[in-house]
Chains A and B, each alone.
Chain A
Amino acid sequence: MKILGIESSCDETAAAVVCDGRKVLSNEISTQIPIHTLYGGVVPEIASRKHVERITQVVDLALRKADVSQKEIDAVAVTYGPGLVGPLLVGVSFAKAFAYANGKPLIGINHISGHISANYIASPELKPPFLCLVVSGGHTHLARVKDYGVYEVLGRTVDDAAGEAFDKVARAIGLGYPGGPKIEKAAREGDKDAIDFPQAKVADHPYDFSFSGLKSAVLNYLNHQKMSGEGISRNDVAASFQKAVVEALTGHVSMALEEFGEKKFALAGGVASNGALREAVRKACEEHGVSFYCPDPILCTDNGAMIAAAGYHEYLKGTRSGLDLNAIPSLSL
């Protein structure tokens, strides 16, 4: 069964064809990062305009590279939230019209569920149940995956997403956008124990995350150094900040592994590309005798294949969306 997956929730226009939810026939991503870099972050109106300009070409490329005709597609899956409403509406509107004109079923997909489903592509043997940490520019979720598309959210961020903290700190130390890869690169040259940044705990909700305190601590540190005339080492700040984020995330992972005794753990989302995080979570899993799963970076970033993979399992469950499918920017997992 071949599913066309369409994703446009932020700054990547993406489409893919995936066979049986596991095998990627094509995975086209048109990124807008160079445009948004000029503004230091994603500008929703510009992102929306670029999606409109690119969506047809990206879908067409995905079909061509997969060597699949429109008629051979069995269903169309599309991200309808969470994300930026303008960008989401482009993918949703296109997908509805395309599915309708081809007489194909339409399936609205939760973006976070898509990230988690990238693991089914990367690890064909992986089946629920397992534990999963989704970390990206907009999301930080620790969840139990009880079945395909069935989640119990253990914790989420109460303020900034982990990736958002990366972006803000990168901007503050002059590394620019996107923050994730730039911090990671700088951190490799820095001393992660140079500065002791605090990790916030969320009272009464041990699995929730908070990153705004850490971000403020970094900003305060930068300010203090400036006021006292002392310089900063960008690399040390990057390394110490990254260590604090990774420890906060990994601490929650270890706690969940102990409490729930799942034998499998998966990482997902754009920040899952971060080498330090991958290694720390892998180690935590090893210590608990738990199998560790994580997609390649190309499947961690926003992409259509993960949406098609999630769409496959929804299709099997009978999930169908109507022509009134709307974008829901704050859709929860």
Chain B
Amino acid sequence: MRILGIDSSGLVASVAVIDDDVLLGEFTTDYRKTHSTTLMPMLDQLIQMLGIPLSSIDAIAVAAGPGSFTGLRIGAATVKGLAYALSIPVIAVPTVDAIAYNLYGSRRLICPLMDARRQQAYSGLYRFSETNKFIVRKEQTPESIADIIERINIEDLPVTFLGDGVPVFKDFIEKNTTVDYDFAPAFCNRQRAGAVASLGRLYFNKEFYTSAEEFRPVYLRKSQAEREAEERKKAGSGAGGYNA
């Protein structure tokens, strides 16, 4: 089974093709270029380099979110265009899960941190069992860095941090973490489409996939306008007398 992996959820743009247990190719960049100008050319170059027909792809695994709203949408719209044209399923992989999956086989707790602005990170908590089964200990969610570190201290287990939130929160982590911690190295500490595709394969085998039409990014946050409208509603309910 051949799976195309795509991740444009953060600063990284990444595309990969796996064929069962083999990574045929992966193209990852993290250099401040907009995904709308890089993602498709990278895919095209990868496919050309591999010399495989695009029609040989059986499914597309995409980092579905959370992440940069714009980045997620570029990925989602790209995946929809490809999957619709090729009539193949879409596997929505939680972004934070896929980042954690980079550290396959680790015996430590895995804590990915994606910078979510407003002093928050999109984070979760993961580990691999004795038999290397991937265990989601805490599902991905936006949280304050203080809450994340507090939970890790309570867990009282060694932990590895990774993700583009590390440079943002490094000072806080170093000052407040009371357990043994370290930071993952360059080759496996950011989004990688190879990990998205590999995890996608597990999901696909559990029949956890959708169609180009039905697939939606997982923002985990409402738009600012919706949040403000809800706050106004809360504050304004009972005020009465308002007449447009």
Q: Identify the A interface with B (CB < 8 A).
A: 38-39, 43, 45-46, 48-49, 51-53, 55-57, 59-60, 70, 85-86, 89-102, 174, 322-327
A153 to B199, CA, bound (A): 53
Contact B77 A55 (CB under 8 A): yes
Candidates B40, B44, B80, B223; contact of A49 at CB < 8 Å: B223
- Judge whether B80 and A56 touch: CB under 8 Å: yes
How many angstroms between the C-alpha atoms of A94 and B76 in the bound complex? 8
By CB atoms of chain A within 10 A, which of B79, B80, B217, B219 has the most?
A: B80
Minimum CB–CB distance from A241 to chain B (whole Å) comes to 19
- CB pair B54–A52 under 8 Å, yes or no, is no
- Name the CB-closest residue of A to B216: A53
Contact of A94 among B80, B217, B244 (CB under 8 A): B80
Bound-state CA distance A90–B35 (Å) is 12
* Contact indicator per residue, chain B 165-196, by CB within 8 Å of chain A (1) or not (0): 00000000000000000000000000000000
Taking the closest CB of chain A, its distance from the CB of B42, in whole angstroms, is: 9
CB <8 Å contact, A52 and B77: yes
Stretch at the interface among B21-29, B67-75, B94-102: B67-75
Which residues of chain A are within 8 angstroms of B73 by Cβ–Cβ distance? 48-49, 52, 86, 89-90, 93
Q: A86-B73, A93-B77, A100-B44 are in contact. Are A45 and B224 (CB under 8 A)?
A: yes
A29 to chain B, nearest CB (A): 18
Q: Which of B70, B81, B82 contacts A86 (CB 8 A)?
A: B70
Could you tell me the distance between the alpha carbons of A100 and B74 in the complex, rounded to whole angstroms?
15
Question: Is there contact, CB below 8 Å, between B41 and A324?
Answer: yes
Known: A93-B36, A97-B81, A98-B84. A56 touches B213 (CB 8 A): yes
Q: Residue on A with the closest CB to B39?
A: A93
Instruction: Verify A101–B82 contact, CB threshold 8 A.
Output: yes
Task: Return the chain B residue nearest A76 by Cβ.
Answer: B81
How many residues of chain B are within 8 Å of chain A by beta carbon?
A: 35
Residues of B close to A325: CB separation below 8 A: 36
Known: A52-B217, A89-B70. A95 touches B81 (CB 8 A): yes
Residue B49 at the chain A interface, CB threshold 8 Å: no
- List CB contacts (< 8 Å) of B9-52 with chain A: 34, 36-41, 43-44
> How far apart are the CA atoms of A326 and B34 in the complex, in Å?
9
Contact (Cβ within 8 A) B81 A94: yes
Asked if B69 contacts A45 (CB within 8 A), the reply is yes
Assess whether B207 is interfacial by the CB under 8 Å rule. Answer: no
In the complex, B85 has a CB within 8 A of chain A:
yes
Note all chain B residues with C-beta closer than 8 A to A93. Answer: 36, 39-40, 73-74, 77-78, 81
Smallest CB gap from A93: residue in B: B77
CA distance A205 to B44 in the complex (A): 47
- B226 at interface, CB cutoff 8 A: yes
Most A Cβ at <10 Å: residue of B43, B73, B77, B229: B77
- For this complex, 7 residue pairs linking A to B, each with C-beta atoms less than 8 Å apart, are A39-B229, A53-B216, A55-B80, A94-B81, A96-B40, A97-B82, A100-B43
A57→B213 contact, CB < 8 A? yes
B90 CB to closest chain A CB, in angstroms?
A: 10
Q: Which of A43, A60, A89, A95 contacts B225 (CB 8 A)?
A: A43
Residues of A within 8 A of B38 (CB): 324
Whole-angstrom CA separation of A52 from B54 in the bound complex: 23
Say which residue of A56, A94, A323 sits within 8 Å of B41 (CB atoms): A323
B145 an interface residue at 8 Å Cβ cutoff? Answer: no
Q: Evaluate whether A100 and B84 lie within 8 angstroms (CB atoms) in the complex, with A39-B225, A89-B70, A89-B74 already known.
A: no
Within 8 A of A (CB), among B190-244: 212-213, 216-217, 219, 223-226, 229, 244
- For residue A92, which residues in chain B have a CB less than 8 angstroms away from its CB? 36, 77
How far, in angstroms, from A60 to B211 measured CA to CA in the complex?
A: 13
Cβ–Cβ < 8 Å partners of A49 in chain B: 73, 217, 219, 223
A323-B44 in contact given A89-B74, A90-B77 (Cβ < 8 Å): yes
Q: Which residue of B lies closest to A85 (CB)?
A: B70
Known: A60-B213, A93-B81, A100-B40. A52 touches B76 (CB 8 A): yes
Q: Are B69 and A46 touching (Cβ within 8 A)?
A: no
State how many angstroms separate the Cβ of B114 from the closest Cβ of chain A.
19
Across the interface, which residues of B come within 8 angstroms of A94, CB to CB? Answer: 77-78, 80-81
B232 CB to closest chain A CB, in angstroms? 11
A325–B74 CA distance with the chains assembled, in angstroms: 12
Question: A98 and B34 in contact (CB under 8 A), knowing A48-B69, A52-B216?
Answer: no
**Minimal Cβ-Cβ distance residue in A for B84:** A56
- Using Cβ atoms and an 8 Å threshold, which residues of chain A touch B82? 97-98, 100-101
Contact check: which of A46, A51, A89 meets B223 at CB < 8 Å?
A: A46
Q: Which of B81, B213, B216, B226 contacts A96 (CB 8 A)?
A: B81
Q: Whose C-beta in chain A lies nearest to the C-beta of B6?
A: A97
- Return chain A residues, CB-CB under 8 Å to B37: 324, 326
Residue in chain A with minimal CB distance to B85: A101
Chain B, residue nearest A91 (CB): B77
Q: Is B86 an interface residue (CB 8 A)?
A: yes
User: Contacts of A102 on B, CB cut-off 8 Å?
Assistant: 85
Q: Are A89 and B40 in contact (CB under 8 A)?
A: no
The one of B41, B70, B80, B225 in contact with A46, judged by C-beta atoms closer than 8 angstroms, is B225
8 further interface pairs, Cβ-Cβ under 8 Å (given A45-B223, A49-B219, A325-B36): A43-B225, A52-B80, A59-B84, A60-B213, A86-B73, A100-B54, A101-B54, A324-B40
